[in-house]
Amino acid sequence: MTSGLRIAALCTLLVCASAVVAYTVLLLSVSVSPCAYSMSRTLLAVTGLDSYIVSCADEASTVELLSSDGGRAKTTATGGPIVTDLLLCGKPNLPPNAFPVNLQCCPPMPASEPVNFKLPDPSEPLRTRRPAHVAGAEYMAKYERAIALMKALPRSDPRSFYQQANIHCAYCTGAYRQVGHPELAVQVHYSWLFFPFHRAYVYFFERIAGKLLGDPGFALPFWSWDVPEGMRMPMAFVNSSSPLYDPLRNTRHAPPKLVDLDFMGAEKNYTDEQQIIHNLRIMYKQMISSAPLASLFLGQPFRAGDSDKPGPGSVEMYPHNTLHVWSGDISRPNTEDMGDNYSAGRDPLFYAHHANVDRIWEAWRHINNNTFHVDFKDPDWLNSSFLFYDEEARLVRITVHDILDIEKLRYAYHGVSLPWLNARPPTTPNVNVKKGNTSPRFIRFPVSLNVAQTIEVRRPHMLRNKPKKRIQGEVLVVEHIVSDGTNIVKFDVFVNAREYEKVKPSGREMAGSFVCLKHNDMDGSLIGKGLNSTMRIALDEILEDLGANEDDSVIVTLVPRHGNVRIGGIKIDYIIGE
């Protein structure tokens, strides 16, 4: 083909593509100064040139394609729900030094086909989960007994503690492959599967415990790390002769040490009072500022045929991930047990942690000042399904749709106040970048994040001026976050902070952190690349608080904190309602 013909063909392709794509994120340009390339992102994608390169196409040439809150655009022609199949469970990808070395974490094969989940009888007693710090000795003793009974079952029993712990391993190490796409992994983290999978997991775990105890009303304790009184490891887990004890924990974090929701290895020298304020502000950010919409709170769509880990929701990254790392034994290469996905289920603390994560999902839905706090309606999400053994040791297929109403699942949460609702972070004095005050360096993406990088990202005012109603949120998108998965990754994202060092992790200018546990290669096609994900941070509230609503651009600083990571690009998108 002559180059003229090639361009003509490309343009035809482009026109067709824009016509048929039903929705996508906006193809908006980013301003890095000076422009790296003048080709539009679409053209780069079609030409096969490095699409990581941030383009500087002018706004007039960008294509406006709308998305309701389905998160990112569909990237594959396939789609459909993620479905798990026991026959597609195989060898896990474990990190080096995992133990036992030959760990296989698939569940035992059932005697017959899985049955479809049925809701419990509405006359069953409501299991009211109580916060571990106030549940009382008797309540905690029941959990202790349940764990002892589970540990006493033979390892071949799918209800044994051993098998229960392995469930987590199988769903997060690439042991399960996707039905119809065996080259791709099923992964329940870093996507919209995170909350529903863990809800179902904890649901069956609790019912098995109740069955073993002969107590149909048995409810799990939850570790309410989001309220000041719950910000310590619950005492019941600390007694070394208890079945709730796990020797593979960070010994420095035994009570009375307060949790640090931003933890990444280094201890902060905060007083308890400071730590509490810091934690509450982090909760506010992750639950309110950064989670105005389902895709930002629950995580990005993950459909059949997609590579796993498209992008986590706010709370999954932290405090969920950071608390895993905070709890695990930091002197071990993989921060076992809690600090790595393959081993996390071995610590009885895991189930109390996840009961709280589940409660947080309920809390998010009920924060009533935001009408957008509603779950996805996407059939690919609702029909995604997982397999669990129930209390009768029957293999059950449960869909996301099945687990959306906890009352129908016959459990509830004992009320805990939500003190973080009022903990809107303050701005940091004297760090706000004012126009002309800063000259971000020229950055060519992809960039290895070895040192802090500051980038000016242009806001597409063309859309900002549209009637407010249709715009549901403005998001900063950090794309193609790539690492080999051999280390825990954390980097922080600051907005309009001239001296980010002065900003506390709970300060307003700290827009969010990307936090990812280790992930060995999940996906045969990504050898040596354990992670290829995206981070999205809602900007609306931050820009409002920083008085930057009318600015044309946002100054973003990415600061590496742990692990090696490469960043493909940065842009600003709008999420548009229907």
3-class SS of residue 559: strand
The widest CA-to-CA distance across the chain, in whole angstroms, is 80
Residue number with CB closer to ligand C2O (278 or 320): 320
Question: How far apart are the C-alpha atoms of 185 and 384, rounded to whole Å?
Answer: 14
**Site membership for ligand C2O, residue 324 (CB under 6 A):** yes
Query: Should residue 168 be labelled a site residue for ligand C2O when binding is judged by CB under 6 A?
Result: yes
| Binding of residue 490 to ligand C2O (CB under 6 A) | no
What is the pattern of x (binds ligand C2O, CB under 6 A) and - over residues 331-370? ----------x--x---------x----------------
CB of 293 closer than 8 Å to CB of 377: no
Whichever of 83 and 344 has its CB closer to ligand C2O, that residue is 344
| Closest CB to ligand C2O among residues 338, 431 | 338
133 is in an annotated binding site: no
**Is residue 198 a known part of a binding site?**
yes
Q: How far is the CB of 117 from ligand C2O (least distance, A)?
A: 20
Q: Give, in order, the Cα–Cα distances in Å from 188 to each of 18, 38, 300, 309.
A: 32, 38, 12, 8
The closest alpha carbon to 90, from 191, 190, 182, 198, belongs to: 182
CB of 577 to ligand C2O, least distance (A): 31
Q: Which of 189, 359, 519, 561 binds ligand C2O (CB under 6 A)?
A: 189
**Cα gap 518→484, rounded to integer Å:** 9
**Shortest distance, position 324 Cβ to ligand C2O, whole Å:** 6
The binder of ligand C2O chosen from 253, 320, 373, 566 (CB under 6 A): 320
Rounded Cα distance, 27 and 14, in Å: 13
Q: How many residues bind ligand C2O (CB under 6 A)?
A: 9
Are 262 and 270 a contacting pair, CB within 8 Å? no
Residue 211, interface with ligand C2O (CB under 6 A)? no
DSSP state letter for 69: S
Rank residues 341 and 533 by Cβ distance to ligand C2O and give the closer one: 341
β-bridge pairing 395-399 and 115-116: parallel
* d(C-alpha 110, C-alpha 545), whole Å: 55
Site string for ligand C2O, 109-148 (x = CB under 6 A): ----------------------------------------
353 marked as part of a ligand binding site? no
Rounded to whole angstroms, the Cα distance separating 20 from 279 reads 46
Position 566 contacts ligand C2O (CB under 6 A): no
And the tokens for 454?
Answer: 């500051």
d(CA 192, CA 309): 9
Residue number with CB closer to ligand C2O (193 or 477)? 193
Residue with tokens 């982090």: 282
253 is in an annotated binding site: no
Closer of 199 and 207 to ligand C2O (Cβ)? 199
Residue 373 is a binding residue for ligand C2O (CB under 6 A): no
Looking at the chain, how many residues does it have? 578
For the four alpha carbons of 103, 206, 187 and 286, in that order, the dihedral sign comes to negative
Say if residues 473 and 277 touch (Cβ distance below 8 Å). Answer: no
Question: What string marks each residue from 492 to 531 as x (binds ligand C2O by CB under 6 A) or -?
Answer: ----------------------------------------
Residue 320 annotated as lining a ligand binding site: yes
Of residues 25 and 315, the one with the C-beta less far from ligand C2O: 315
Q: Say if strands 127-131 and 411-413 run parallel, antiparallel, or are unpaired.
A: parallel
**Minimum CB distance to ligand C2O smaller for 201 or for 420:** 201
Least distance CB 198 / ligand C2O (angstroms): 6
Contact (Cβ atoms closer than 8 angstroms) between residue 119 and residue 398 = no
Residue at token pair 């549940």: 135
In the complex, which residues of this chain contact ligand C2O (CB under 6 A)? Answer: 168, 172, 189, 198, 320, 324, 341, 344, 354
Annotated binding site: 168, 189, 198, 320, 324, 354
Annotated binding site for Cu cation: 168, 189, 198, 320, 324, 354
